[in-house]
Structure 1
Amino acid sequence: MMKKNLLNPLRALALFTAVIALVFTTSCGDDEDPDCDELTWYADADGDGLGDAETSVMACEQPEGYVDNSDDDDDTQAEPTSNLWELVESTEGLDSLEKYLGVYPDLVATLEAEGTFTLFAPDNNAFIGLLQTPGFPQNIASINPDIIKNVLAYHVSVTLYESSDLTAGTQVATASAGNELIIVNEDGTLKTGSTNQNIEIKTADRAATNGVMHIVGSVMIPPTVGQTLTPILGTNAGTLLLGADFSILAQAILKADTFATGAGLPTLASILSADASEDATKLNTVFAPSNATFEVLADSLFGDNNDEATEAEINSFLGFYSGQQFYGIVANHVIVGQTLGVSDLSTGASFATAASSAAQAQMLTFYQIEGAGDFTDVFIDSNGDFNPTEGTGLNAEVALPNAADSGNGTVHVIAGLLTPIQ
Structure 2
Amino acid sequence: MAAAGKGPDVIVIGAGVVGLSAAIAAAARGLSVTVLDREGPAAGASAGNAGAFAFTDILPLASPGILRKAPRWLIDPLGPLTVPPAYALRIAPWMFRFWRACSPRRVAHSTRAQTALMDLSKAELEPFLAQTGTVPMLRKDGNLQVYEGEAEFEASLSGWKAREEHGIEFRHLDAAGMAEIQPGLAPRFTHGTFTPGWYSIADPKLYTLALADHFRATGGVIGRAEVTALRPAEDAVEVLAADGKGRRAAQVVLAAGAFSHRIARTIGERIPLETERGYNTTLPADAFDLRTQVTFGDHGFVVTRLATGIRVGGAVELGGLELPPNFRRSEAMLAKAQAFLPGLKPQGGVKWMGFRPSLPDSLPAIGRARATPRVVYAFGHGHLGLTQSAGTARIVADLLTGQTTGQAPAIDIAPFSPQRF
Q: Is the structural similarity TM-score above 0.5?
A: no
TM bucket, shorter chain: under 0.3
More helix by share: 2
Structure 1 length as normaliser, TM-score?
A: 0.22
Relative contact order (C-alpha < 8 Å, sep 6+): which is higher? Answer: 2
